[in-house]
Structure 1
Amino acid sequence: MPRTDAPGSVAPTGSAAGSAAAAAAVELAGVKVTYGSAKQPVTALDGVDLLIHPGEFVVLVGPSGCGKTSLLRVVAGFEQPSSGVARVRGALPRPGVGAGVVFQQPRLFPWRTVGGNIGFALARLGVPRAERAGRIAELLDRVGLPDTAGRRTWELSGGQQQRVALARALAAEPELLLMDEPFAALDALTRERLQEEVRALAGRLGTTVLFVTHSAEEAVLLGSRVLVMAAGPGRVVAELPVGLARDPGTDVAALRSSPEFARLRSRLTEIMRG
């Protein structure tokens, strides 16, 4: 995978490579994903190598059809590579094991309350019924929706529903959070608020995040590094480290208007267009 000359961005070799892979939250090696028939195959990903270390916030950007979602689905265990290998903390990924997933649409159960949606996830995780109410309240408070457990999902705004989906994903206390354009359908103000909340939440919990977006601005704001993908077939063609402040006390509004933010956004846009 192409690398920048930023410190720590050069892929290790030999025994160092083995140690890095063993310590990785996510490792992809030579991953290829092909759809369609043998006579008319469509290659969504080809030869993708990737290491994501614990606590990183890695963002995937690129044009539609470049394989961003396919890559995310491989890491989630929803898809198997046609060739190559994917590992999450050293093991083959399995759906619902070790990773929380937030999709572009909330995908909540409309017949359940807010608390019922989160409680369903907790029940599947084997959390005793007596403990669920407390956990539900804690999770809703964490995403900024206290005292909403008894409300129906259709009573909530789109942004609030997406927060419930995030709370449900966090129910398993995942070390890895996979997010597939989760704010794309939201209005600009709600999107900005949720960007800031997810950024702060990931920093506070130390969660490893793999986030898909089309937006250079969103990528620079959220990511500790950004991977640029190109289509035909899907592959990683560039990497941009982002050195913006990430501590929980960061003034995100000031960050958005800083010269360094503007420089990184401009540079990423240039790479994406190239």
Structure 2
Amino acid sequence: MELSGVSVRYGTAKAPVTAVSDVSLAVQPGEFVVLVGPSGCGKTTLLRLVAGFERPATGTVEVRRKVGVVFQQPRLFPWRTVGGNLSFALARHGVVRAERAARIQELLSLVGLPGMAGRRTWELSGGQQQRVAIARALATEPQILLMDEPFAALDALTRERLQEEVRTLATVTGTTVLFVTHSAEEAVLLGSRVLVMAAGPGRVIDEVAVPLPRAETTDVAALRGAPRFAALRAELAAATRDAAAA
């Protein structure tokens, strides 16, 4: 995906508000890129541009692969079972009814919820619901996964488990990920590259490479123990504070 000179404006012609100003970035296949910065800096707006939910006022957005989206809230259909939510996504993707049951089991196993197809969504914990939302996004077999603070509302232990699962999932499937977070620590744990954004208007002011292990077997605890982790987290936290003050 590539954004070139992108700006987004809201409001009226007489009183326009620039949410994002002249942002250019490129994400290569298989990269895990994280957007971090203060509230209102345009992180979600950039995801919406890539997803096609927004159109830029200026600049171009080029997406060469199929996109799946995971929101901060799971946004599941409460009147459907877990399997029913996934079946709906598969049907929209053109998967015939006879093939959906097997595909649903594959997706649930992939996100660590085997055998849960018959459960009601309101019976699930917050972490389980978000796993279903990830499975739903993967149902369309996207090459690019957009994730908008998907773990922000979860408790610390659940968040850590899902961070590890998403890292593994991206590594195993080769999916390109564009991930939004407020957390410098989460950005370092997940990203191979982190873009720091500032507000007023939203723009990218810094880029931090994260040369930490990306192997399938590298868990979150091991990453936290890596020699460069603390230094990278401190560097990114400082950059985020600078962005808030910019």
Give the TM-score of the pair, scaled to structure 2: 0.97
Question: In 2, distance between residues paired with 1:58 and 1:204?
Answer: 16
Please say if 1:73 is aligned against 2:48. yes
Counterpart for residue 119 of structure 1: 87
Counterpart for residue 8 of structure 2: 33
Q: CA RMSD in A?
A: 0.8
Please say if 1:248 is aligned against 2:205. no
Question: In 2, distance between residues paired with 1:75 and 1:102?
Answer: 13
CA deviations on 1:191-247 (whole Å, 9 max, x unpaired) are 000000000100000000000000000000000000000001100000000010001
Partner SS state of residue 228, structure 2: helix
Q: Which amino acid aligns with 2:11?
A: G
Question: In 2, distance between residues paired with 1:140 and 1:149?
Answer: 8
CA deviations on 1:68-88 (whole Å, 9 max, x unpaired) are 000100000000001100010
Task: Show the 5 A alignment for 1:62-101.
Answer: 62-89=37-64, 98-101=66-69
CA deviations on 1:94-137 (whole Å, 9 max, x unpaired) are xxxx1110000000000000000000000001101000000000
Question: In 2, distance between residues paired with 1:140 and 1:265?
Answer: 33
Counterpart for residue 54 of structure 1: 29
Partner SS state of residue 121, structure 1: helix
Shift, 1:273, TM fit: 1.2
CA deviations on 1:143-169 (whole Å, 9 max, x unpaired) are 000000000000000000000000000
Please say if 1:42 is aligned against 2:17. yes
Question: In 2, distance between residues paired with 1:259 and 1:246?
Answer: 15
Question: In 2, distance between residues paired with 1:227 and 1:150?
Answer: 40
Question: In 1, distance between residues paired with 2:219 and 2:90?
Answer: 34
Task: Show the 5 A alignment for 1:263-274.
Answer: 263-274=231-242
Counterpart for residue 117 of structure 2: 149
Shift, 1:254, TM fit: 2.0
Partner SS state of residue 164, structure 2: helix
Task: Show the 5 A alignment for 1:2-13.
Answer: none
Q: Which amino acid aligns with 1:190?
A: T
Partner SS state of residue 228, structure 1: strand
Question: In 2, distance between residues paired with 1:27 and 1:130?
Answer: 38
Give the TM-score of the pair, scaled to structure 1: 0.87
| Matched positions, count | 242
Question: In 2, distance between residues paired with 1:132 and 1:33?
Answer: 39
Question: In 1, distance between residues paired with 2:3 and 2:214?
Answer: 26
Task: Show the 5 A alignment for 1:162-181.
Answer: 162-181=130-149
Please say if 1:158 is aligned against 2:137. no
Shift, 1:249, TM fit: 1.3
Counterpart for residue 191 of structure 1: 159
Question: In 2, distance between residues paired with 1:256 and 1:141?
Answer: 27
Over 2 Å off, 4+ runs: none
Partner SS state of residue 259, structure 1: coil
Shift, 1:89, TM fit: 1.2
Partner SS state of residue 189, structure 1: helix
Question: In 1, distance between residues paired with 2:69 and 2:216?
Answer: 23
Shift, 1:251, TM fit: 3.6
Structure 2 unmatched runs, 5+: none
Q: Which amino acid aligns with 2:24?
A: D
Q: Is the 8 A contact 2:34 2:195 kept in 1?
A: yes
Question: In 2, distance between residues paired with 1:251 and 1:55?
Answer: 19
